[in-house]
């Protein structure tokens, strides 16, 4: 049985400031927030990454992420949110978690990360074609 930090939060072995809990999902404050009120939404069942998320947990997980995002304006005065997930690379806890971060204009996050690149001629079409082919192959 997996015993990562977030399994411990699910099991009550580690205390977090929870904002929602039901049988399928838990949401709690990230203890090192990008901005105050930054929430992590996780499945109660141990799942490593998005690719491991069972079909029946997609709806509960992302519905809760959306509800948390919606609550950030009345609760925190946020003007918007940033919703993100690291999978394997930059993932510091091996238990799937969706970050829901409150945003406001001028909060300084823009440009702080996510540097953008540009496609050379033909590369954009080539990348789209490679992804279409992989999706078709996966669909059988």
Any idea which residues carry the catalytic annotation? Answer: 97
By the 8 A CB rule, do 98 and 65 touch? yes
The distance of closest approach from Cβ of residue 86 to ligand DGP in the complex, given in angstroms and rounded to an integer, is 4
Of 3, 92, 117, 136, the residue at the interface with ligand DGP (CB under 6 A) is 92
Q: How far is the CB of 100 from ligand DGP (least distance, A)?
A: 12
Q: Find the shortest distance in angstroms from Cβ 49 to ligand DGP.
A: 10
* CB within 8 Å of 10: residues ≥ 6 apart: 26, 42, 44
Rounded to the nearest angstrom, the gap between the alpha carbon of residue 69 and the centroid of all alpha carbons in its chain is 11
Q: Which residues pair with 5 in a beta bridge?
A: none
27 binds ligand DGP (CB under 6 A): no
Contacts of 57 (CB under 8 A, 6+ apart): 24, 25, 43, 45, 47
Question: Any contact of residue 16 with ligand DGP (CB under 6 A)?
Answer: yes
Number of residues in contact with ligand DGP under rule CB under 6 A: 14
Interface positions with ligand DGP (CB under 6 A): 5, 14, 16, 28-32, 40, 86, 90-93
């Amino acid at each position: 049985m997996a015993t990562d930090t977030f399994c411990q939060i699910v099991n009550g072995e580690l205390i977090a400031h929870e904002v929602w809990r039901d049988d399928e999902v838990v949401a709690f404050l990230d203890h090192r927030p990008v901005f105050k009120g930054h929430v992590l939404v996780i499945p109660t069942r141990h799942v490593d990454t998005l690719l491991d998320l069972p079909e029946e947990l997609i709806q509960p997980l992302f519905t809760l992420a959306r509800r948390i995002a919606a609550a950030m304006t009345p609760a925190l005065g946020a003007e918007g949110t940033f919703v993100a997930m690291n999978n394997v690379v930059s993932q510091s806890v091996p238990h799937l978690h969706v970050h829901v971060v409150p945003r406001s204009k001028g909060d300084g996050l823009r440009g702080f990360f996510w540097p953008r690149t540009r496609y050379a001629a033909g590369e954009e079409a080539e990348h789209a074609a490679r992804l279409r082919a992989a999706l078709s192959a996966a669909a059988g």
